[in-house]
Amino acid sequence: MIRFNKIRVQLQLTMGLLIVFTIGALGIFHFNTVKRSLLNDYREKHFYTVLEASKSSFQSILQKAIETSELLAEDPTIVSWFKGKEKDDDLKQLALQRLDYLYKNYKYSTVFAVSNLTNNYWKEGFELMDVISEEDSDDCWFFEGLENKIKTTLNFDYNRELNKTVLFVNVLMGDLEDPLGIAGVGVNPSVLIDEFNKHKISENTILWLADEKGKVLISERVDQINKPLQDYLPEQVVHNIIENGNASVISEAVINNKKVEVAFMPIATTRYKLVVMVPDEELVPVLRLIEQQTLMFSVVFLLITLVVVSILSRTITLPLLRLKVQSESLAEGRLDYEPDPALIKRVDEIGVLAKTFDGMRKQLSEDIIEMNKLNERLVNEKNHLKETNQQLNKALASASESERLTQSFLANISHEIRTPMNSIMGFSELIEVTEVGSNDYKQYASLVVKSGQQLLSILDSIINLSKIESGVLKPSWGRINISVLVKETYEIYHVLAKNRGLKMVLSLERNEKDLEIHTDAILLQQVLNNLIQNAIKYTNAGFVKIGCYEKEDQLIIYVEDTGIGMSLKDMEYIFEPFRQIDNIHSKKTVGAGLGLAIVDKIAKILGGTIEVSSQPKKGSRFTVKLPRS
């Protein structure tokens, strides 16, 4: 690439190249445009474009109306109502609501349904507009549609009841061989006329929508509607339009001694065609095109002049302005801007100045970066010391809490173990050294057994918790029926609850055969045992309730009681090991505070969770949530 070290030389070369390129490009563009306008296939291509645009705009409106009419004709509520000769008032209300809904939401001129059994003409607004009669000439469209058995028809008519002219889209209801009636919508023809006018080739272009017999259904001239095309086009041209099923152009047809071009195109799969006619003298726009292009050339040259001036200004002034901004940034100590690569690469005076500024910026940036690194290092060391202190404080707090819980556990467990052991030793000595009767002997032996069972339960809880926390306890997965398990648990404990004067309640909300789950039956049974035993233990009056139900993809099992309840403070640590509620366990019950901790850990091993809700003196509810799969 050739580079010049003088701005003046660069400007001269740039202007010269731009002018040469612009003149050449505009000359080629003008020549090709005029040439294309004179091609022999201009008429056909242009006509097809206009027809396609008109058809697309019109068809989108017409197709929507046809689809709406078909949905209405197939509506099961209206069909059922008409089959019953409109005697069912409930169906009547629903059917008329359907008409009114389509009218309000799709903005049609009217929405209607006419019964072939009663000849009642129903429309939006829950209104019986008319009773169709063969003697009324305005109603001939209905009886002709039923007689001809054509699924979809259009008719353009002035409706006296609506007091306006409407394009009706009619669809037969039910079987074509034995239709129930006709349903459809009315479209405002002015909307279609507006779409036609958007695609006119010239002022005198005429657009029609005609049926398969050549009758005009839509035109911007009202006096042409429902008239045959033969009134406006030669007979042979109309014959070609009716007989030809494809889009086509008929060139140089003569009407009133003037040559015209006629083109037509079918509307999708319907029986209707879009027809356009334009005089030959308005079809070839060469002179107008040249005038437009001359004006366009003037505008283009003006734009080019503006562009050249803008380029010259940008080439000279913008680099200097950018250098001025850089110098101000250096003066204010702002060094984070990026130098302009285009200025750095220049080999002229501006390039040299830009490189000098950039060298100054880099040197200052390096010095500042080095200072920032030193400051950052000091800040990091300070933060590291702060984090270390925080970790030490947390470790000390954790160690203190762990030591406190351990001491509390040892004190509590020694008391809990000592109590049954004293009973065992005391009553064993009485049996050994004292002569007792058979009744006292049985009583002492029973107390020894109960104390042994109590001691064994405490040891089992400690062992189970140790297995869980060490990871030794592994679930044995299998499919079980939760409803059966809950029901069996209820059977086990309802006698114990009854002996304590409590009511045991079972709640199953579904067929027990449906509530199956993949889990460990033994571990889940242990969870239910602990929860129910606690509920019975801490409930003096009322009931203990066990139940299960399914919610989304989870299985919910709950145990609810009307016992002593808990405060919010107690519920915060109720599932922690060795935790016991103050003034409850120590005075009224025995235990190591491990039952609910074991329940929580087993629930997590089974992939679920446990939640508690409670109020003091009102009772508690423990909820276990397990995944279904």
Residue 562's pLDDT is what? 94
pLDDT tens digits along 382-395: 788 788 778 877 76
Residue 588's pLDDT is what? 45
- Rounded Cα distance between 362 and 368, Å, is 10
249, 282, 315 - which closes a domain: 282
pLDDT tens digits along 494-553: 888 998 899 999 988 766 566 788 888 888 888 998 899 899 989 999 999 999 988 888
For the chain, percent of residues with pLDDT exceeding 90: 17
Residue 300's pLDDT is what? 73
Q: What are 291's two structure tokens?
A: 């005038």
Torsion of CA 420, 421, 422, 423, to 10 degrees: 50
Residue 363 in any domain: the answer is no
HSE toward the beta carbon, residue 421, CA cutoff 13 A: 8
Residue 586's pLDDT is what? 40
Asked whether 578 and 409 are in contact (CB, 8 A), the reply is yes
Same-domain status, 506 and 543: yes
Same-domain status, 27 and 98: no
Burial class (CB within 10 angstroms; exposed 0-12, middle 13-18, buried 19+) of 266: middle
Q: Which residue has the higher pLDDT, 361 or 539?
A: 539
Residue 136's pLDDT is what? 83
- When pLDDT is cut at 50, 70 and 90, the band that residue 39 belongs to is very low
Same-domain status, 274 and 297: no
Residue 565 in any domain: the answer is yes
Domain at 94, CATH number? 3.30.450.20
Same-domain status, 503 and 617: yes
Asked whether 86 and 181 are in contact (CB, 8 A), the reply is no
- Mean pLDDT, the chain, rounded, equals 75
Q: Which residue has the higher pLDDT, 158 or 242?
A: 242
pLDDT at 291 over 60: no
What integer is the mean pLDDT of 80-108? 91
pLDDT at 281 over 60: yes
pLDDT tens digits along 214-234: 888 777 777 888 889 888 888
- Rounded Cα distance between 316 and 306, Å, is 16
Same-domain status, 165 and 178: yes
In degrees and rounded to multiples of 5, residue 338 shows phi and psi of -95, 130
Residue 412 in any domain: the answer is no
Same-domain status, 522 and 590: yes
Asked whether 486 and 504 are in contact (CB, 8 A), the reply is no
pLDDT tens digits along 187-211: 887 777 777 677 666 777 788 888 8
pLDDT tens digits along 160-196: 666 667 888 999 998 888 899 999 998 887 777 777 6
Residue 24's pLDDT is what? 59
Q: What domain range is 517 assigned to? A: 474-627
What integer is the mean pLDDT of 134-153? 85
Q: Which residue has the higher pLDDT, 37 or 297?
A: 297
What integer is the mean pLDDT of 438-460? 59
Same-domain status, 75 and 177: yes
Residue 408 in any domain: the answer is no
pLDDT tens digits along 53-76: 666 766 777 888 888 999 999 999
Same-domain status, 22 and 125: no
Residue 407 in any domain: the answer is no
Same-domain status, 250 and 306: no
| The total number of structural domains that make up the chain | 3
Residue 376 in any domain: the answer is no
Q: Which residue has the higher pLDDT, 261 or 464?
A: 261
| Separation in Å, CA 130 to CA 119, 138, 153, 172, 402 | 9, 11, 20, 18, 90
Same-domain status, 212 and 266: yes
pLDDT at 622 over 90: yes
| Separation in Å, CA 22 to CA 15, 28, 93, 308 | 11, 10, 73, 11
**Which among 20, 8, 17 has a CA at the least distance from the CA of 312?**
8
Residue 128 in any domain: the answer is yes
Same-domain status, 110 and 203: yes
Residue 95's pLDDT is what? 92
- When pLDDT is cut at 50, 70 and 90, the band that residue 370 belongs to is confident
Q: Which residue has the higher pLDDT, 243 or 309?
A: 243
pLDDT tens digits along 552-610: 888 899 999 999 999 888 888 788 776 666 544 444 444 556 778 888 888 888 889 99
Domain at 599, CATH number? 3.30.565.10
Same-domain status, 253 and 187: yes
Residue 573's pLDDT is what? 79
Residue 343's pLDDT is what? 67
512: DSSP letter: T
- When pLDDT is cut at 50, 70 and 90, the band that residue 323 belongs to is low
pLDDT tens digits along 399-433: 565 555 555 555 555 555 555 665 565 556 556 55
| Separation in Å, CA 215 to CA 206, 209, 440 | 15, 8, 119
Residue 404 in any domain: the answer is no
